[in-house]
Structure 1
């Protein structure tokens, strides 16, 4: 057997006649090994725990009743080893297979995706059966119960305290999804993502607003401030004036960075398609310039080339010229993160794309809960901000010039 591999044999009682069944069998074997290793480690830690008569306080006690776990490769039957303890404060809780677990996280994450893409509650069983096998779907009652649980989780999440962390940067954007809610057929979902002092990104707000209005954004930002979020050093967003107006009122000291992806699209909209490749290249050369002075010269060249024939395109660029280049006053390692609202765009792009082609999403309350649930899954896949060790310097107010620290500058 090759080193580093685990050898396993098929149970003679099992009929393996498809690749999916083989995969499930392998998953059962690997799960059994992982559970046994987890219990073995727990038992070794409890080896010294004895009562007055020398009997072990932590001991194996057979198996729990067999249960079926719904996974992305279909249902897997599991008999989990039982561990009992005579000491109340010493309890075994499996991290691999938590108590009452019936579905893996990938299945739970798929439910809100289906819902946001227009699958009705009554259709869930049929859709999930196509994924998990005949008779293994998720019932309408289960979906209704999950929606209620997630709405409660979301309500608690949006009230959580934020004072224990410091947030260096925030990204803000409005996501438009269609709803079945007749009172608000196309409300805007206002999303804020922040990065804390450790370089970890997290969703700070997912709320419903009225067309990205200043009033709606003000309500979101006031909510963050009331929950303890201190003034971030930089906010990144598109050119929508509602957010910037609210930001200046709630967090007046926060610097502003316009999103280059949004700005590029806005400028190109004012130009003939035949000029798009040329203009796009010129815009990229601006924001990829090594320093602010060169970027400013790039803006000057763009003005000289297009101003006479396409003044609207030039105005779209120059009216936010200062805010487009704010990122040069922050660490160079952060440039690629803080030039755009990509963290929000990438998180919701699939949902936004698909809902345009399918039936409308559910009502506003349920949609917010579903987006919250998806956000928790998205966060798990995020990496730390590149150059996160620079964040404490930014929070302390260290000045930067073209991405480099100015150590001797007076703060």
Structure 2
């Protein structure tokens, strides 16, 4: 807390006793009988007026007393407002000007109370959790019987949210990673209207999930994905010791990863997506059998055994369901990348799918459910960044995070030699 704010708090403490002394028991009973918030607001406004009077006297001297050495003088009052209770409440601010130059001087107590951060945060939180700009006034206290209130119109609340969410988007788009160790990234897209937001979620060496970047396009094409990954490098992402990327199977994502990181990236295809894709080509009576076979293969001790079992399953499906077999074979070896790494089962289970980033998408979608008309890419970017930052704050560390150090060493081992991943697959 700044020295100024400490002094302000001390001044308020001095102001309140005389204010409260003026109250009778009947006043308090009436306040409790009515609305106690309004009662507190009235005290707060009176305290603010006293603070502003103190500031005015400090700048221009006591009222009505001539001082030939004064450097400032009173210049009436200005009707203005301060944020209170998620809206603006009308107050009369004293004006002070310098002698000679007639320059307007700030009133410190007013400047301290007039900051709009409280209103921006209120608008952000209320709209993020489902209160529309049209219904905003139903979620705030009505102080109109005490003072003139304003800044609760639909357009004002909307502008306030745009400003606050734009600041949140900047936090994501300008985030630096120079001092972070991020061995794992997950990439996926979330569609809103005609736009697709490509999102990168990183997992740090202590198991925390952070939103690293968002890029708006129309599809998950390789150009958008590549530009997003290059942007992460420019903001300090270090992949010198290798990187594990978990993706849903998109060819555009894979192409972009290889273009940007080359042999330093290991790609783990989401096993849940692969299972879903294969089952989509099969009749329902085959689902349980194939699902059991897939999970048994992915639960093998090493990648070599897992690949053999998956290929055998593809062969068994070939005659009756050739498209299911083709779907299984496509990117098959990248579904067992984690089995090439000697890491504990709990951590392997956390990284076998894109569930961590999809969980963030699920939380974000709840925040965005009331938006029906996505007007442009900037709007999508602001909402997605703001909602994902909110999801990040509520996220837990990944299961098995205490073993991330082992994962980092294993990624480095597998990517530190030319063709290391391929060689590991052949000798496993």
Question: Same fold by TM (over 0.5)?
Answer: yes
Partner residue, 1:341: 354
> Structure 1: where are the runs of 5+ without partners?
1-10, 29-65, 76-98, 179-185, 401-408
**CA shift digits 1:195-249 (9 cap, x unpaired):** 1222211000111124111111110011111111112520000111111111111
Offset of residue 14 of structure 1: 6.5
- Which of 114, 131, 146 matches 2:161? 146
Paired with 2:175 and 2:371, the residues of 1 have a C-alpha distance of 34
Q: Secondary structure at the match of 1:257?
A: strand
Partner residue, 1:190: 198
Partner residue, 2:247: 237
Are residues 113 and 306 of structure 1, via their aligned partners in 2, closer, same or farther at CA, if it must alter by over 3 Å?
Answer: farther
Q: Secondary structure at the match of 2:257?
A: helix
Offset of residue 146 of structure 1: 2.5
Contact 2:197 2:380 in 1 (8 A): no
- Higher Cα radius of gyration: 2
> Structure 2: where are the runs of 5+ without partners?
1-27, 41-81, 88-114, 144-148, 415-423
Contact 1:161 1:228 in 2 (8 A): yes
Q: Secondary structure at the match of 2:183?
A: strand
Q: How many residues align?
A: 310
- Which of 209, 226, 235 matches 1:227? 235
Partner residue, 1:263: 274
User: Which structure is higher in helix share?
Assistant: 2
Are residues 256 and 212 of structure 1, via their aligned partners in 2, closer, same or farther at CA, if it must alter by over 3 Å?
Answer: same
- Write the mapping of 1:148-227 to structure 2, written as runs, cut at 5 A: 148-155=163-170, 157-178=172-193, 186-227=194-235
Are residues 131 and 280 of structure 1, via their aligned partners in 2, closer, same or farther at CA, if it must alter by over 3 Å?
Answer: farther
Offset of residue 153 of structure 1: 4.2
- Which of 380, 390, 408 matches 1:367? 380
Q: Secondary structure at the match of 1:251?
A: helix
Are residues 107 and 143 of structure 1, via their aligned partners in 2, closer, same or farther at CA, if it must alter by over 3 Å?
Answer: closer
Query: Residue 251 in 1 paired to residue 261 in 2?
Result: yes
- Write the mapping of 1:9-408 to structure 2, written as runs, cut at 5 A: 69=85, 102=118, 108-112=124-128, 114=130, 124=133, 126-131=134-139, 139-155=154-170, 157-178=172-193, 186-231=194-239, 232-252=242-262, 253-330=264-341, 331-332=343-344, 333-349=346-362, 359-397=372-410, 399=413
Paired with 2:328 and 2:370, the residues of 1 have a C-alpha distance of 32
Paired with 1:215 and 1:148, the residues of 2 have a C-alpha distance of 29
Paired with 1:109 and 1:223, the residues of 2 have a C-alpha distance of 29
Contact 1:214 1:246 in 2 (8 A): yes
